[in-house]
Amino acid sequence: MKKFLVLVLATIMVFVFAKERIVINSYMSDPAPRKALAELVEIFQQKYPEYEVVVNTFAHEDFKVLLRTWLASPKGTADVVTWFAGERMRYFAEMGLIVPVEEVFEGAKWEDYFPEAFRSTCSYKDKIYFIPQSWYWWGVYYRKSVFEKFGIKEPKTWDEFLQVCETLKKNGIVPITIGTKFPWTAAGWFDILNLRINGLDYHIALTAGEVPYTDAKLLKVFEYWRQIIDKGYLLPNHTAYEWQEAATFLFRGQAGMYYMGQFIKDVAPTEVKDDLDFFRFPIIDPAVAPYEETPIDGFMVPANAPNKKGAIVFLRFIASKEAQEKFAKDLGRLAANVAVAPPDAHAKKGLDMILASAGVAQFYDRDTNPEMAEVGMNAFIEFMQNPGKITDILKRLEAERKRIYGK
């Protein structure tokens, strides 16, 4: 009888003290952001001891493929997933694979947490589906010591930029590093050149499928891009490198510049971090106002999530000033929460650049239909390898645009 009572008591204790599980699938596989998220999870569990949070981390490119499988599965495996704002989020919302998360703001409103300008890119049909965590700028990164060694100043115009490239090349340094083993890095170049040459409205219309890829204005983008290709200013054999591998050429002083997002500092060696700086991508047409790339990263809740209630509790924590401030400070990012100031001088410079811009875009593969984005990015790589085939490449892209968008 005594053993029976002990067993019953133990069963009751397990039932009473059993923790509710929240599963997060994350693409934050680089050491710094992975550590930052893990520390946020620890803080959350201290605040909410009734929850046990399990974080499953996947390589970034693998995650992009697996996410569609997870979301489409009848039985959900995750309660929260990391993802991107903009079209990439709306694509899943339109398919009914993620759910609104407006309960996060119960007793408050969006503007109490995040900029009003972020609402549209985090919404679908006037409902919030995405909780932004951080955002970052893209710029041309370089090592200050390398520029100082050769007397190079930050270029403001395209001609000055080409002169910097030539100076670096003459001194045995690859002017521009890039790794295109995964093609989104090439999309960054397409975006910024299109923004500098044709402006934001044109770029948004293009990514929405409303502009023919055979448009003469778009051809001009590739003509400028071809200048740095034909002059040999890009890292040779760049298709063999992932973006992190290409960054090592910059870190070692073997390459002079890298057009990349702020997260490049996540993978920079400690001894190099303070030597890294960036400048605004040079102006090409003075008549076109400066527009920049500012992707927004954050979280969604799958429609098949086993624990939607727990997911909302976690996302309410993620939206808080405390959580966003820590993540931003740990990684030098800009927090999405309006109450969090830039964590350091580097982030303040990035924020000032964005505030001085005339507008911002997300990123080609975040603003474009996913199927079109995949076709487009592969075409950009093909162009970088065979620039003489640009006419045929654009014709094929136009045929794909008509097929995918039906117009």
pLDDT tens-digit map of 199-213: 999 998 999 999 999
Give yes or no: residues 39 and 122 share one domain: yes
Q: DSSP H helical segments within 129-177, as ranges?
A: 144-149, 158-170
pLDDT of residue 16: 45
Token pair listed for 301: 């809740």
Residue 7 forms part of a structural domain:
no
pLDDT mean over 11-40: 83
278 and 389 share one domain: yes
The tally of domains found in the chain comes to: 2
| 169 φ/ψ angles, rounded to the nearest 5 degrees | -60, -40
* 351 and 247 assigned to the same domain: no
Instruction: Determine the pLDDT at residue 127.
Output: 95
Instruction: For the chain, give the mean pLDDT.
Output: 93
Say whether both 149 and 131 belong to one domain.
no
Tell whether 300 and 256 lie within a shared domain.
Answer: no
State how far the Cα of 373 lies from the Cα of 365, in Å rounded to an integer.
5
Whether residues 202 and 104 fall in one domain: no
Residues 288 and 273 in one domain: yes
23 DSSP β-pair partners: 54
Residue 276 in any domain: the answer is yes
Report the pLDDT value the prediction gives residue 4, as an integer from 0 to 100. 56
Domain co-membership, 170 together with 226: yes
Residues 109 and 249 in one domain: no
Q: Cβ neighbours of residue 187 under 8 Å, at least 6 residues apart?
A: 363, 364, 365, 373, 376, 377, 380
User: Of 332, 355, 378, which residue is a domain's last?
Assistant: 355
Residue span of the structural domain in which 325 resides? 17-135+295-355
pLDDT number for residue 281: 98
- Listed residue (47, 46, 44, 51) closest to 18, CA to CA: 51
pLDDT digits (tens, 9 = 90+) for 111-125: 999 988 888 889 999
384 and 268 co-located in one domain: yes
Question: pLDDT digit string (tens) for 283-338?
Answer: 999 999 999 998 899 999 999 999 999 999 999 999 999 999 999 999 989 999 99
Domain-located, residue 363: no
CATH number at residue 169: 3.40.190.10
Task: Select from 118, 75, 80 the least CA-distant residue to 99.
Answer: 80
Residue 4 counted as domain residue: no
